[in-house]
Amino acid sequence: MDTVKQQPNRLESAFLGLQHVLAMYSGGVLVPLMIGAALHFTPTQMAVLISADIFMTGIGTLLQLKTTRFTGIGLPVVIGSAIQTVTPLVNIGSTLGIGAMYGATIGAGIFVFLIAGIFAKLRRFFPPVVTGSLITVIGFALVPVAIQNIGGGNAKAANFGNMTDLAIALVTIVTIVLLNIFAKGFAKAIAVLLGIIVGALFAACLGRVDLTPVAQASWFHLPMPFYMGTPKFHLSAIITMSVVALTSLIESTGVYFALADLTGKDLTERDLARGYRSEGLAVILSGIFSTFPYSTFSQNVGVVRLSGVKSKRPIYYAAVMLILIGLLPKFGALATIIPTSALGGAMLVLFGTIGIQGITILHQVDFDQDRNLMIVALSIGTGIGITVYPQVFQQLPELIRLVIENAVVVTSILAVALNIIIPGRTDE
């Protein structure tokens, strides 16, 4: 294998780290943007929250990278704000107040930290027939998000799917594909980054890049604890966010297994417990610094697979970049000027790659056994279906909907349950 893919040098690691940052950046700022808009935060509050969110993303990623006795999964993971937290946080913030929203976040983080060891014991319920199904859905369930971004980001807009956005996305995709097929060594490893850059340059030639956000952004911002006020602890809100946190843990579990499969690491219960504790700590810190709950980002699995670089070194660089972006909003604004359609083109490749990673794991499964066929068919089929029509559960109680409207969670619950219930289970 290429030496770049084994242990990149510092410069190569920096570019690879930037590739990871760009892969997750739009998803990383999406949650504060959505919650802030719903709760009518001021522009100043939004700017501060986004900077703090990106800063804490870097801190949380470092917590996962460095393995200690109690924390750190020790895999090339990147964390970011969990999209499934948007609806419940908006509901809590609009009814009980902003303080209750952050109190519930801190409470959920403590809950995750305390149950990490217990949750890790579920490891034996995740054989390849389950993890393969889960990772397949993690990838393919995100494809609609990529398609929406390719069309411009807002499916309700009158100009959604305009020819300019489609052309920008196409240039990005073609660049990534050509580099993956024909490039060698480091150029191939950073194909996603180069594709996004080429797509952005093409968009600039078409007049679709606006530098105003960079000019208006401040040079420095230091995240402050309790910026939005003192947390308030309401039991109902904490229970709600703890349930949502469990869905994030399930999704993170799938990402852990995908990265373990790519890097050849055999995950133990202790590894998983350390990863969950780090995620719990990151959620606690997000509440303290007035940001939003985190989970492990699946986008970056695609980056690892496409680049072929299994080392944690680029992720350390990515974490440092995220911290610097959080401290220097003007640099963070540079990432925001990349057209949504260019990011969408890169996302389509990344998410499809994650789905293929799941299918690769499913190759280990004996489909001559009808039970395995039924487990995979029902869990993946239901997960993809819910991605398209999550409103199928709209008549159920809200607390239940918070869980089962998440395609990844439904897939994992179904796959685990069917693997236990259907006769003929073996240790795979």
> pLDDT (tens digit, 9 = 90+) per residue, 136-186?
998 898 888 889 989 998 888 899 999 999 999 999 999 999 998 998 878
Q: Do 325 and 331 touch, CB atoms closer than 8 A?
A: yes
Q: Which residue has the tokens 């919650």?
A: 35
Token pair recorded at residue 200: 């952005």
Instruction: Give the chain's radius of gyration (CA, Å).
Output: 21
Q: How far, CA to CA in Å, does 33 sit from each of 14, 213, 306, 325, 373?
A: 27, 15, 29, 17, 41
CA separation for the pair 165, 345 (Å, rounded): 10
Domain ranges of the chain: 3-81+100-121+158-343
**Residues 6 or more apart whose Cβ sits within 8 Å of residue 35:** 41, 86, 89, 90, 93, 292
**Do residues 294 and 28 touch, judged by C-beta distance below 8 A?**
no
**Got the DSSP string for 399-419?**
HHHHHHT-HHHHHHHHHHHHH
Q: Please tell me the predicted confidence (pLDDT) of residue 307.
A: 84
Q: How far apart are the first and last CA of the chain?
A: 29
What CA–CA distance (Å, rounded) separates 216 from 207?
A: 19
Contact 89, 102 (CB under 8 A): no
For the segment 292-338, what is each residue's pLDDT rounded down to a tens digit?
999 898 878 888 888 888 889 999 999 999 999 889 888 767 777 88
**What DSSP character marks residue 390?**
G
Q: Which amino acid is at 281?
A: L
Q: How many residues does the chain have?
A: 428
> Is residue 123 within 8 Å of 275, Cβ to Cβ?
no
Q: Measured between alpha carbons, how far is 92 from 237 in angstroms, rounded to an integer?
A: 7
Give which of 285, 320, 336 is closest to 52, Cα–Cα: 285
* 294, amino acid identity: Y
The two structure tokens encoding residue 8: 């990149």
Q: What's the average pLDDT block by block, 10 residues per block, for the chain (428 residues)?
A: 62 90 78 81 79 92 93 92 84 90 95 95 89 90 89 89 95 95 85 91 92 79 87 91 88 90 90 96 94 87 85 93 88 77 90 90 90 95 90 85 80 92 74
pLDDT of residue 6: 62
What residues have CB less than 8 Å from 262, skipping those under 6 apart?
A: 301, 304, 305, 310, 357
- pLDDT given at position 3: 41
> Given this model, what pLDDT does residue 318 score?
94
